[in-house]
Structure 1
Amino acid sequence: MADPDLQKAYEKHLLAAKALPASEVLPYRLDPDLALVNITTGMKVIYDHQAVIPAHLPQISLASLLALPELALATKYAALAAEQETPSESHVQAKLSLARDLRGKLLSVAKGLAENGIVPQAEVDAIAAGRGLRDRAEDCVSLASLFRKHAAAISGKQPITDAQINETAEVGSWLVANLRPADAPPRPSTGPTEAVEIRNRFATLLVRAHARLQVVAHYFHEEDWEERTPALGSRRIKRQSGDTRESTTATPTQTT
């Protein structure tokens, strides 16, 4: 695959994904990043034997096997698109971690500015007073607003850049929009969105194509085919001795 462009790969395989009968679409249990790594590992079998695959396994399309890395990229793109509508827990946690770091930086500087009478102490105290994840998000929005409001007064007197202020505002706004209070009623179940449905279809195509890859590996390497073409969810895990071994258990990351 010469051009590792996620969107181009997605567009190329979109019709095939949409053409899948609804009854054949599998639940989504895929980590697209792990899948891409494991497919890259498995492709060596195809490259090593592509000259003889058509003769030995004529029922399997060589072109579809060679397109596997591209299909994995397309699935990654579809997963990213779905995540924008229904952010995964790991995505939310990453945003919360970023918000914590940015809040800490901006609040520390804001406190110093307030102590020197450059910005109002009361405004900084109000931001620092709250606790909790949602408050962290709101603090990011408030801190960005504070720095923008007093931009003229603090110019040249503090190290926070405009880019950091903008990033703080963005992550805070995203979290305010996506965090739900613990006692909030559950969202009504309306079924998967179009983006989630498309992601599930791409993942189904990938699972099927990977199964064909493993058939090829088993044909040419009966003794160690699982090592040559690891499962889509395989990951390296460390033993206590420091050695590594491969876990071939696919851990579901999300089911919709």
Structure 2
Amino acid sequence: MADPDLQKAYGKYLLAAKALPAADILPYRLDPDLALVNVTTCMKVVHDHQAAIPTHLPKIDLASLLALPELALATKYAALIAAQEAPSESQVLAKLSLARDLRVKLLSAAKAIAENGLVPQAEVDAIAAGRGVRDRAEDCVSLASLFRKHAAAISGKHPVTVAQIDEAAEVGSWLVANLRPADAPPKPSTGPTEAVDLRNRFATLLARAHARLQVVAHYFHEDDWEERAPALGSRRLKPKSSDSQESTTAAPAG
């Protein structure tokens, strides 16, 4: 395969993904990064038996097996697009952590310049009064607005940079758009978005191609085919440390 390019790989297989009948799409249970690693492991079987596959397994398309790494990249790209529509929990937590740090920095500076009469104390007090993660997001937006509104009066009189003000506005706005109150009614189910549907289609293409590769591995290596062609979601188990195992040696008789 040439140098990996996720977007090009995605474009190459997009029509095939769209052509899948809806009834054939598998539930999405894929870790695309793990799948990439396992596909790389699997490819040794294909390369080792590349000359023999057309003779021994004529119904299996050798070209589709050789293209598996590229299809895995395409699936990774489809998953990235889908993730942008529905942020993951780790993404939300990272944004909340950044918002907390920015709020502390901007609010501390805002309190100092309010004490010097450069901005209205009431505006700063209103921002400082709130609690909770959603309020943290709104505070970032409000603090950015405060610094921008009074930029001329406070220029050079606080340590906050323009980049930090912009970042506070951006992360606060993102969180306001993506956080849902705990007591909010659930979003109505309207089925998967187009990006999620395409992700599922790419994952189905990958699962099908990988299954054909496992047939090849089983044919040529009946005893250890699962090790040579691990499942897309296979994880390597760490061996237990000998220090953590109980000693079973019997004490000598006294």
- Shared fold, TM over 0.5: yes
Q: Which amino acid aligns with 1:92?
A: V
1:86 is matched with which residue?
86
2:67 is matched with which residue?
67
2:55 is matched with which residue?
55
**3-state DSSP of counterpart to 1:235:** coil
When structure 1 is superposed on structure 2, of 52-61 and 177-186 the one drifting more is 52-61
**Aligned CA distance change for structure 1 residues 7 and 185 (closer, same or farther; 3 Å):** same
Q: Which amino acid aligns with 2:38?
A: N
1:125 is matched with which residue?
125
Corresponding position: 1:209 with 2:201: no
2:241 is matched with which residue?
241
**Aligned CA distance change for structure 1 residues 43 and 115 (closer, same or farther; 3 Å):** farther
- The RMSD of aligned alpha carbons is 2.6
- Give 1:15 shift: 0.7
CA distance in 1, matches of 2:114, 2:232: 53
1:137 is matched with which residue?
137
When structure 1 is superposed on structure 2, of 11-20 and 124-133 the one drifting more is 124-133
**3-state DSSP of counterpart to 1:174:** helix
Can you list the C-alpha shifts for 1:190-249, whole angstroms capped at 9, x where unaligned? 122222211111111111112122222333333333333332222345466399xxxxxx
- Give 1:44 shift: 2.9
2:46 is matched with which residue?
46
Can you list the C-alpha shifts for 1:118-173, whole angstroms capped at 9, x where unaligned? 54443333223222121121122122222322333443444443333222222211
Corresponding position: 1:22 with 2:31: no
CA distance in 2, matches of 1:47, 1:33: 22
Corresponding position: 1:101 with 2:101: yes
**Aligned CA distance change for structure 1 residues 238 and 157 (closer, same or farther; 3 Å):** farther
2:36 is matched with which residue?
36
Can you list the C-alpha shifts for 1:26-53, whole angstroms capped at 9, x where unaligned? 1111122222222223223323333333
Return 5+ residue gaps in structure 1 as ranges. 244-256
Which TM-score applies when normalising by structure 2? Answer: 0.82
How much identity, in percent, do the aligned residues show?
A: 84
Q: Which amino acid aligns with 2:128?
A: A
CA distance in 2, matches of 1:197, 1:129: 43
**Aligned CA distance change for structure 1 residues 217 and 177 (closer, same or farther; 3 Å):** same
2:4 is matched with which residue?
4
**Aligned CA distance change for structure 1 residues 150 and 226 (closer, same or farther; 3 Å):** farther
2:251 is matched with which residue?
none
CA distance in 2, matches of 1:48, 1:137: 55
**Aligned CA distance change for structure 1 residues 18 and 142 (closer, same or farther; 3 Å):** same
